[in-house]
Amino acid sequence: MPKKVAVIGAGHVGASCAMYLAERNIVDVVMVDIVEGVPQGKGLDLTQAAPVRGYDAVIEGTNDYAAIQGSALVIVTAGLPRKPGMTREDLLKSNAAIISEVGKNIKKYAPDAFVLVVSNPLDIMTYHMQKVTGFAHAKVFGQAGVLDSIRFRAFLAMELNISPNDIQTLVLGGHGDSMVPLLRFTTVNGVPISHFIKANRLSEIAARTRDGGGEIVRLLKTGSAYYAPAAASVQMAEAVLLGRRRVIPMSAHLTGQYGLNDLYIGVPCILGPGGVEDIIELDLLKEELDMLQASGKIYKDSLQFLGY
């Protein structure tokens, strides 16, 4: 039998995750949402696309959490979207209540699953999800570093008019204004990015990356990004489901690495069949480490609002 992935939340991000997963043809998908008819309708729509798109994955939509039983991985996209002028932290308490409900049902119906959190504010919601489920830290992780990194790669590719596939980069820290793009780890097929772009222009592109989600929110006016977040999530899902052991920047639980303890934040990890199999501790410059620790302090302070 094929593996099953549950997607909690059938909004734009959740439905895009379901579509990308189906097109990989490696798992069946069940979408769960509290709004009656929405997951069923989107599941049926994706099922009808299968003959043209060339997949035969089973895609189910439901309002019943019991349907996630047997899932190898649960991708959590449920939550309120950001609106113009709203920071990720503005969403904190409202989405924490939603994550509490989702986490309880994952623990009840899919106690052996890995959990990939996409809901914002990402790093805090991932921490909260682990506390609610009680799962091992290696089995609960957040998608942010991949998204921030591919946004940076896309902006650099636009600047240079080259393929984004030739650009590699690394973005650490929180998913938001405190993210830390590591410019000295950014290359174009191994050539340092500084060979192509001057430092002041690089700083401008890094600033645009920090505001990458906010820029899309302002353009859409209602709602937020979904194609890129879903694509990033499915890349992480494949690393676990196919045992690829990818080196991926992601929100993982730190226990002293980078001078940070007991919080989730974006760091490079080896993600594979065991979940977060290793946290890679880079030898950062003092300025880079200071930025990462400042990012961590923001989330430590925010966790106090949730009673942690």
Instruction: Give the residue numbers annotated as catalytic, written as ranges.
Output: 175
Give the Cα separation of 41 and 153 in Å (integer): 34
Give the Cα separation of 83 and 62 in Å (integer): 27
Give the Cα separation of 204 and 222 in Å (integer): 26
State the Cα angle at 42 between 105 and 21, rounded to 5°.
75
Give, in order, the Cα–Cα distances in Å from 162 to each of 7, 40, 87.
Answer: 34, 40, 32
Sign of the alpha-carbon dihedral angle for 24, 252, 293, 99? positive
Give the Cα separation of 246 and 235 in Å (integer): 9
Give the Cα separation of 220 and 89 in Å (integer): 20
Judged by DSSP in three states, 194 sits in helix
Q: Give the containing element (helix H, strand E) for 207.
A: helix 199-210
Q: How far apart are the first and last CA of the chain?
A: 41
Give the Cα separation of 99 and 119 in Å (integer): 8
Tokens of 89: 């932290």
